[in-house]
Amino acid sequence: MRTLRIGTRGSRLALVQAAEVVGALRQLFDLELERVVIRTEGDRSPDVPLVGHGTLGFFVADIEEALLEGRIDIAVHSLKDMPTRLPEGLMIAAVTKRLDPRDMVVTQGGGLAQLGAGQVVGISSLRRTAQILHLRPDLRVSPLRGNVETRIRKMWQGSYDALILARAGLVRLGLGGLAGQILEPEAFLPAPGQGAVALQVRADDQEARQVVEALNHPDTSREVNAERSFLAALEGGCQVPIGALARVKGGELQLSGMVASLDGSMVLRDDCRESSGEPEDTGKRLADALLKKGAGEILRCVREAGVS
């Protein structure tokens, strides 16, 4: 078998995720694997705020281009960063077992309730902004960029009183014990696909596809397919205030979804359960239910504001 080149971003979190994939593949196969670090637009533009600048595919497009051009054979992505529409010729061949998908308030001590009115929370997405303002409209939110370690350092230096970060990333970096509060999905839904790692290949590369498929985690795949179908049906991207979380429990797929206004004054939520059928259909059904409740008007206002 040829040497398989694995493409990844160069952040410490991305390298940890790629190392997990390399280690898992080497446990299963006698392979020659080469890691290729690719700088994405998001890496080249560290000062561009993620909110309001059309950042769809900000962290994946350059890696996908390398895959299409044959410079790499397997792309490793944080699934939550991936647009729901993939470039022609590429496919997600596997999704590894998801870590904790929840978000977390990281502080210098205490949790959300201990933050005082007017304190500043560093946030990198409209989804997090809307939900925090819904829970605590008295707080101030401020755009947040940089890798996880940079964000935490800025908080300790006094730029922020708290941060909202994905718990899976903290755990992967050995920072799961930071002070703060895990935000439960009953009150705060994560991004579709959060905590999951996607492995993307060229659709016609049977060799790479067969290798990668061995790492697919069926329950995680079922969950994230429902979440991404929900997102796609609402024509949302990673920066639209849409949240979703699916869980497989006892064979039943349970999907929760949320659409919010930019200021958090309106939050629409609903749930859907499915014991059989395709997860994509479950996502579409939940999207239809929220559209009937008025989600379309909320998203129209978001798009007209020019921030998505």
The catalytic residues are 81
User: What's CA 163's distance to the chain center, in Å?
Assistant: 16
Q: Which helix (H) or strand (E) holds 123?
A: strand 120-123
First-residue to last-residue Cα distance in the chain: 43
DSSP letter at 96 equals P
Distance CA 80, CA 55 (A): 13
> Are the beta carbons of 272 and 96 closer than 8 angstroms?
no
Distance CA 238, CA 54 (A): 10
The sign of the torsion formed by the CA atoms of 173, 17, 95, 144 equals: positive
Distance CA 161, CA 154 (A): 10
The sign of the torsion formed by the CA atoms of 153, 154, 160, 166 equals: negative
Q: Which helix (H) or strand (E) holds 33?
A: strand 33-37
Distance CA 78, CA 36 (A): 16
Residues 6+ apart with CB under 8 A from 10: 37, 38, 39, 43
Secondary structure E strands in 126-232: 140-143, 162-166, 180-183, 197-202
